[in-house]
Amino acid sequence: MENGDEEGKVRQIDEEALVELRDRVDGAVLRPGEEGYDEARAVWNAMIDRRPALVVRPATARDVARAVTFAREHDLALAVRSGGHSVAGTAVCDGGLMIDCTSMTAIAVDPAARTVRADAGVTVGAFDEATQAHGLATPGGIVSTTGLAGLTLGGGWGWLSRSYGLSIDSLRSVDVVTADGELVRASEAEHPDLFWALRGGGGNFGVVTCFEFDLHPVGPEVLAGVLVYPFEVAGDLLRFHREFTAQAPDELCCYASVRTAPAVPFLPEPLHGEPIATAYLCYAGDVAAGERAVEPLREFRPPLVDLVEARPYVEFQGLFDAVYPPGFRNYWKSGFVDDGLSDAAIDTLVGYAETLTSPYTSIVVEHLGGEIARREPDATAYAHRDASHAFNVFTRWEDAAEDERHVAWTREFFEAMTPFLSDGVYVNFLSREEKRVRAAYGDNYERLVEAKRKYDPENAFRLNQNVDPES
């Protein structure tokens, strides 16, 4: 069982205090052994198996405030769950209080104003369903089961980010419960220092109970899908991808991946289990213009499988759910690339791809830039605006007995790639044991420390990629 700094300290909770908490909370308060407890503590990464002393499933922001206050008064470590999709598993703690926001799922779209309000438990899929009913969207993720809250608080990128920026770039305001149990609204006009910190600073500053976003016209059909190539051309594809993406219009986002073909419905059965290279993409604009923009990928080499077609944006957002389902053990490494991977980096990547320790592992080069890069690095807490790509090793496997082998391979691979990467990292992709929080925020780190000292000086919200107020 993986423990955080203080997660294993189980406090004795007075029964009278617990009864009072249950009386005051409109949602549920669960203890070990009670119905719903195991469901609440189970998160996406199966390596995480923690047992909180209490789980509060709030129905309202007021419930969240009462849970935060209870944790402070009883000296309980505090964890917060939205979708529970983080690879680090920080949504759940050992021996403390877990706030499970998955029951808070209200979404209110104002199509005339092109805005939306979404509660803390909303998933990317539910958000897209509600907004796409009006032909609108906000950038957010590539797996529909991801929690909108955690994604956004770390920055949030997805298929629409080159067109419209990060999720935080469309954020208008948030309702947040701070460490003292106070519910405040943060925006450019109200608590602007807190608003700045929450846009990329993760869960360090409070529990966001509601997000207000700007919406953008998208679809409802986009040109999107996957092109599958034989593994033998992986190096050539990655070199082509580097040049192709450097000239791509903002409407086009194109990832490249090397992996074993998963046994998913959208791939032909004869390919299942075979090593492949892929380009998967979304063009968030006119479909005919998109066809012209992606044609070089088809001309580079005729793909084994061509699944790029006009399809509903919502459908594409759920396409990779089957590739990254819950229940697997996950260990990830990630870094940014400023100008595309060099030839030497690509050779190193392909060499390690030939030695994959798990058929569920994927090596992904994500396409950034575009509108993401048009804001200054200090405009929000998310600092790495100039990165052209992100390099990721998403190592996944089933058997706990194989943990050491897969983790060791991932670390060795990433160490070999480190000379080709910048110093930065996306905070949402950090594993639990990594000490690269400063690298995630770069020159913005000291400003985050100032905000932490103001809004959470006792570091109540520490079970995360933590900004320590004493650092």
Distance in angstroms (rounded) separating the CA atoms of residues 52 and 296: 52
**Would you say domain 107-218+444-455 falls under CATH 3.40.50.150?**
no
pLDDT (tens digit per residue) in 393-439: 999 999 999 999 999 999 999 999 999 999 899 999 998 777 899 99
pLDDT of 2 reads 36
Report whether pLDDT(447) > 50: yes
- The DSSP line for 214-259 is E-EE--SEEEEEEEEEEGGGHHHHHHHHHHHHHT--TTEEEEEEEE
pLDDT of 11 reads 63
pLDDT of 14 reads 82
Distance in angstroms (rounded) separating the CA atoms of residues 64 and 76: 15
CB 361 within 8 A of CB 396: yes
CB 302 within 8 A of CB 402: no
pLDDT (tens digit per residue) in 427-441: 999 987 778 999 999
Taking residues 193-219, report their average pLDDT: 97
- The DSSP line for 359-387 is TT-EEEEEE--GGGGGS-TTSSS---TT-
Q: Where are the beta strands (DSSP E) in 95-159?
A: 97-100, 107-110, 115-119, 136-137
pLDDT of 10 reads 56
For the beta carbon of residue 195, count every other beta carbon within 10 angstroms.
24
Cα–Cα–Cα angle for 94, 96, 98, rounded to 5 degrees: 95
pLDDT of 338 reads 85
pLDDT (tens digit per residue) in 254-313: 999 999 999 888 889 999 999 999 999 999 999 999 999 999 999 999 999 999 999 999
| Nearest Cα to Cα of residue 465 among 445, 43, 119 | 445
Query: pTM for the whole thing?
Result: 0.94
Distance in angstroms (rounded) separating the CA atoms of residues 469 and 427: 18
- The proportion of the chain whose per-residue pLDDT surpasses 90, expressed as a percent, equals 92
- Average pLDDT score over the chain: 95
Position 9 confidence tier, pLDDT thresholds 50, 70, 90: low
CB 29 within 8 A of CB 115: no
Q: Please identify, in words, the CATH class of the domain defined by 15-103.
A: alpha beta
Distance in angstroms (rounded) separating the CA atoms of residues 75 and 93: 14
Q: Considering only the C-alpha atoms of the chain, give the largest distance between any 2 of them, rounded to a whole number of Å.
A: 71
Kindly list the distances between the CA atom of residue 61 and the CA atoms of 129, 205, 429, in Å, as whole numbers in the listed order. 24, 16, 28
Taking residues 362-382, report their average pLDDT: 97
Asked if 15-103 and 221-429 have one fold, the answer is no
- The DSSP line for 141-183 is BSSTTSBHHHHHHT---BTTHHHH--GGGGEEEEEEE-TTS-E
pLDDT (tens digit per residue) in 110-156: 999 999 999 999 999 999 999 999 999 999 989 999 999 999 999 99
Fold of the CATH domain 221-429:
Vanillyl-alcohol Oxidase; Chain A, domain 3 (3.40.462)
pLDDT of 230 reads 96
Distance in angstroms (rounded) separating the CA atoms of residues 325 and 39: 16
Copy the structure tokens of residue 211. Answer: 């997000």
Domains of the chain by residue range: 15-103, 107-218+444-455, 221-429
pLDDT (tens digit per residue) in 225-247: 999 999 999 999 999 999 999 99
SS3 assignment, position 329: strand
CA-only gyration radius of the chain, Å: 22
Report whether pLDDT(7) > 80: no
pLDDT of 206 reads 97
pLDDT (tens digit per residue) in 174-185: 999 999 999 999
